Amino acid sequence: MIINIQRNELKKTKVYDTYWKFACERQNIFMRKLKGDKFPLTDDLILREYKFTNSYRASDRVSQYLIKNVIYQNEYTEEDAVFRILLFKTFNKIETWKKLESKLGRISYRNFSIDQYGKILKDCYNTGDTLYSGAYIMASGKSVFGQERKFMNHLMLIDYMMKDHVTKKVVECRKLKELYNTLLVYPTIGTFLAYQYAIDINYSELVNFDEMEFVVAGPGAKAGIRKCFSNPEVYSEEYIIRYMCEHQKAEFKRLGLDFVTLGGRDLQLIDCQNIFCETDKYSRVKYPDILDRNGRTRIKRRYKIKQEKIDYFYPPKWGINKIIEEVYGIK
């Protein structure tokens, strides 16, 4: 489906071109890092100073850990694979996963115990560890499961999902949207989280859906869309994201930008959704006169160089690992 939007229907602001410039330069930074270039990796002072996700979601540190260490590290049963993905993404924090592994060894559904996992997480919490990432807000689940500690409610949610045969439901899905709807019925899992979980499960061999099939706009993406267009209400956010995705080559060409794809893989709907979110953040500094509904004018997280090297690895079914290895010498 190719989407055409009449110029007089959707009015672009000065932030619109920034969307494409950001996507291109953020990907350039990633590629320079991949090649082993030294810092600073960009002349863009905003990108130097503040933390932004990659143009491709799967290239982000947490997604890379999920793909390589949680999904593809060893062979797992379908049930174990679903459990591991749900557990990791609930906290979405590498350090929390490592703490659990250090106490439990190889994590699988067969050794899952709410009490045992809860005790480990409680000990981490009591020593001041942050259990959750700040990437998105997780509902506490207290109204459903009744526990004071959020992590206990989330362990109970995972237990409920597994006992409800979520694995069987996942592998029987035939469309990405069907997978999304399967996850959406569970308590505390809203639209944005269900979509994120669906994308994460789709990295595995459990299912194999086209990421161009379906998208859900998160709060950050909606804020970015409102900054890029003065009248975004004429179309749904999902419609606009698809438009951007399907016109990426023409827009990069129009602006004279040499966008380097990820092993020949164009930006997908999930990536274009994320870029709207990052454009919202970037424009807080670039265009402080254009406010979002919350009046935010600053970016909270500053960029810090991480010494730990990432050996980039993508779902084998994408067929890009060998291409990236050959071009950049990655092994």
Q: What is the pTM of this model?
A: 0.94
Peptide bond connecting 40 to the previous residue in cis, omega within 30 degrees of 0: yes
pLDDT digits (tens, 9 = 90+) for 132-158: 998 777 888 899 899 999 999 999 999
329 φ/ψ sector (left φ>0, alpha ψ -120 to 50, else beta):
left
* Alpha carbon separation from 264 to 120, 148, 278, 324 (Å, rounded): 43, 48, 23, 9
Residue 4: pLDDT band with limits 50, 70, 90: low
**DSSP string for residues in 8-43:** TTS-B-THHHHHHHHHHHHHHHHHHHHTTPPSP--S
Q: By percentage, how much of the chain surpasses pLDDT 70?
A: 96
Mean pLDDT of 122-129: 95
Give 139: exposed, middle or buried? Use CB within 10 Å, 0-12, 13-18, 19+.
middle
In degrees and rounded to multiples of 5, residue 49 shows phi and psi of -90, -30
Tokens representing 211 are 């990421």
Closest CA to 136 of 96, 179, 190: 190
Tokens representing 246 are 């399907």
**DSSP string for residues in 204-258:** SSS----TTS-----HHHHHHHHHHBS-GGGS-HHHHHHHHHHTHHHHHHHTT--
pLDDT digits (tens, 9 = 90+) for 44-69: 999 999 999 999 999 999 999 999 99
Residue 186: pLDDT band with limits 50, 70, 90: very high
Strand partners, 12: 229
Closest CA to 222 of 148, 267, 289, 276: 276
Beta strands in 33-165 (DSSP E): none
